[in-house]
Structures are given as C-alpha cells and as structure tokens.
Amino acid sequence: MYKQTVEQFTIDLSSEKPVPGGGGVCALVGALASSLGSMVASLTIGKKRYSDVEEEIKQLNIKSENLRIKLLEDINFDAESFLPLSKAYSLDKNDPNREQILEKCLVDASSGPLIILKDICQVIELLERYGQIGSKLAISDIATAAMLAHGALYGCSINIKVNTKLMKNREFAQKRNNQVDKLVEKYSKLAQNVFENINREMI
C-alpha cells in the first residue's frame, strides 16, 4: 500500500474502504517527519562548519532512514491488523465464537497504531538531537517535523483507544491505555520542546 502514488493513497483514504485509515496516516506522517530529519543530515554532512559532529550526524541519519522505511512498512502492517476486525463485525451475532473472535481482532487492531506510536517516539528523539547539532539552514524543517510527529502521537493514541474501549478484557484495555498515555505525555512534551527551542531562535 505504501508504494502507491500519493494521489492514489489519498483517493483510497477518501473512500469507504476500510484501509488506509487513521493509523496508516499517522505512519505516513511519521515517515515524513523522519525524512525531514534525514534531509537535515544530508545538508550537514560534508560541511566544514559541522565537521566535529559529522560522525554523529551520519549515525543519526542511518537511524532516521531506517525509521522512515519502518514507518512506511507500518502503513501495511496497520492495514493488515485492522482488516480482520472490519470483517469480524459482519459475523452472525448468533455465532458462539463471535465475541472471542472480536476480542482478538480488537487486540490486533490496537497493535498496529501502538507499534506506529513507538516508532514515532524514536523519530522525536532523533529530531531533538538534529535540532541541537544539525545545519541551521534547515532548522525550521526540524521544527516542522517535530509538530508532524506531535500530531501523529495523538492520532495513534486515539486509534488505539477506539479499539480498547470495546474490549471485554478491561484489565488488558486499561493496561494498554496507560502505556499509551505515558508515551504520549513524555514524547509530546519532547516534540513541543524541540519546536519551542527552534521557534525562539527565529526571534
């Protein structure tokens, strides 16, 4: 799915098809944020002014490129995680296995955006460092990436909770929600700080 053209992705997204949806969009946004980090690396590597941090930038670039690819693959993973749930809702309500099947599908459907969320957290960590040592010529792109990632965190969060809300196993649901809330609280603050630190440089 992620190898579609941007136009086709948005056409499918606009349709009544079950996928792509919010989780896939969050993964795409995360990949874009990671790409902006890699762009800053490309503009930093080889510049005499940044020779003292070149090796670190190269390592950051490897990580952000890996995350870019991973998040694109997450688009497909999210779709594969959700599709069984979309089909499970059409099961006969008299089927004795319906509730058990639905419960498993809800857990699986929440796993896609959870993985995306964790990957985006890693992107934000990289963006923080890019903002500190990367080329100042592209510092606004790091701020942009930080806010893209910030929004995607919340998108992932709500796409997880729309599934945990329906789970019969409330202990598991609450545990997953707590895990999500802690990650969002920590990394949304970090992303905001990245943006605000760069924004102050604009004054």
Least reliable range by pLDDT among 58-62, 96-100, 122-126, 184-188? 96-100
Is 1 within the bounds of a domain? Answer: no
Is 29 within the bounds of a domain? Answer: yes
**CA angle (92, 97, 101) in 5-degree steps:** 95
CATH code assigned at 184: 1.20.120.680
Q: What is the domain extent for residue 138?
A: 20-201
Burial (Cβ within 10 Å: 0-12, 13-18, ≥19) of residue 171: exposed
Q: Does the pLDDT at position 86 exceed 80?
A: yes
Is 122 within the bounds of a domain? Answer: yes
Is 14 within the bounds of a domain? Answer: no
Length of the chain: 203
> What would the pLDDT profile of 128-147 be if each residue is shown by its tens digit?
999 999 999 999 999 999 99
Is 153 within the bounds of a domain? Answer: yes
What is the number of domains present in the chain? 1
Tokens standing for residue 164: 């945990």
pLDDT average, residue stretch 69-82 = 96
pLDDT at residue number 4: 86
> What would the pLDDT profile of 143-194 be if each residue is shown by its tens digit?
999 999 999 999 999 999 999 999 999 999 999 999 999 999 999 999 999 9
Is 15 within the bounds of a domain? Answer: no
Is 118 within the bounds of a domain? Answer: yes
DSSP letter for each residue of 78-145: HHHHHHHHHHHTTS-TT-TTHHHHHHHHHHHHHHHHHHHHHHHHHHHHHHHHHHHHS-GGGHHHHHHH
Q: Does the pLDDT at position 34 exceed 80?
A: yes
d(CA 27, CA 155): 10
Is 180 within the bounds of a domain? Answer: yes
pLDDT average, residue stretch 62-70 = 98
Tokens standing for residue 125: 């960590």
